Amino acid sequence: MNGPIRRVAVATMALFLALILNLSYAYIARQSDLLAHPQNRRVTDARFAQDRGPIMAGTTSIAKTTTVKDQYKFQRSYADGKLYAPVTGFYSYLYGASALEKSHSSQLAGADDSQFLNRLINLATGSTPRGGSVETTLDARAQEAAWNALAGRKGAVVALDTRTGAVLALVTTPSYDPNDLATHDLAASQRAWKKLQADTDKPMANRATKEIYPPGSTFKLITSAAALEGDLTPDSIIDASSYQLPGSTRVISGNCAGSQITLAQALRVSCNPGFARLGVSLGQDALRTQAEKFGFGTSFLSDIGGAASKFPDELDDAQTAMSSIGEFEVAATPLQMAMVSAAIDNDGVVMQPYIVKRVLNADLSVVSQTRPQQLSVAVSKSTAQELRTMMVGVVESGTGRLAQVSGLEVGGKTGTAHSDNERRPYAWFTAYARELHLAVGVFIEDAEIPANDIAGGTVAAPVAKAVIEAMR
């Protein structure tokens, strides 16, 4: 073979080798990206025609696949779609997926790396591939009670197992029906999507974990925690007289049943001037550190989407005073405020919240299982005990009386938050039920009562009570 032919042969071999290497790289390293590419309609068609596994709440399928006689062969459907939509999300040909349908899509489709052996077995036996199932931590009793108690009002409810961090209820209203987006009638799916996007009530917004709001007086639990972790006790006397904010003409006043009252009484009657003055004496750093120990600044439940609650930076004294009563730029999710009560019930230990209990293969073998994890220690055991006693006082003889449940130790804190002078206040309530190891966070966006009323006690506390009673 002469030189020119040899060089052509070598160059051709090199090109073939490069082609083989590129194809191998694309198949092995880029497979997931290529399969997930939005322009890959062939893969979309194939995946939409898969026997996708169920999403479960206890023994109930809240998302499942059934066989149908059309080009896709399988139809995704959602039982009680609006009730569970923030958790299941949707699975749509045109609009992809959201929440658990998105974060656990590969496991539900049976295409995850952890399910490789099952795919080999299906290939060898000629069996029709089936997806795995996702078991959530949700309890249908708590979920339905929260939904019914909200009664269509704009807001959210989160319930937690205080020992583990498992989410027992996660409801947000208004909601939407994922079936409208999962339909094989693509024109109908498109109409439903446009209607949802145009709705000013934002039914697709997850108010429980992805939206943050001023928590109002529920934040006084954190201010109280910072005080108790310092030099104060529940019996410490604080100044509850009207308070002019430092460097400002604004005066904070309130009927606190005295000008010199105990810290416990200040929490029981939700005394704004007392806590504003207390916040300034504690200082912004102590408040911020305490908030972060409870979880502020960290986002949770990434499998359904979560936003971090926030305590603002670089405050002057007037801003610190307002922040200590849950206003100014303090903002929290209902999940976060449920976590505050959960930590107090759990002797000061904050547990990492989770909503997926485990993932199973189609043959019911375990793919993955969530183990409870400690996130932080927010307060000492003794401080947690003092906070529980103070919170019981709020429910037994303070602003949270409507959360009382006969035969149970229920402690709570009301909150009424104002963001402007035009809209009606936000209503909050966060509580624990000691014997049930249960914590609940309730948020109602429009309290529908006069701004000077205690919205959290009147509107939100009965919702928490309904959830607690459902779990007895």
Instruction: Write out the catalytic residue numbers.
Output: 217
**Cβ–Cβ < 8 Å for 318, 246:** yes
d(CA 470, CA 472): 6
Beta bridge partners of 331: 310
d(CA 456, CA 402): 10
Nearest to 175 by CA among 138, 202, 210, 195: 202
Could you write out the DSSP letters of every residue in 389-412? HHHHHHHHHSTTGGG--TTS-EEE
**Cβ–Cβ < 8 Å for 444, 466:** no
Encoding tokens for residue 295?
């979880």
**Cβ–Cβ < 8 Å for 126, 120:** no
The owner of tokens 């583990």 is 164
Beta bridge partners of 67: 74
Give buried/exposed letters for 83-110 (b at 16+ CB in 10 A, else e).
bbbbbbbbbbbeebbbbbbbbbbbbbbb
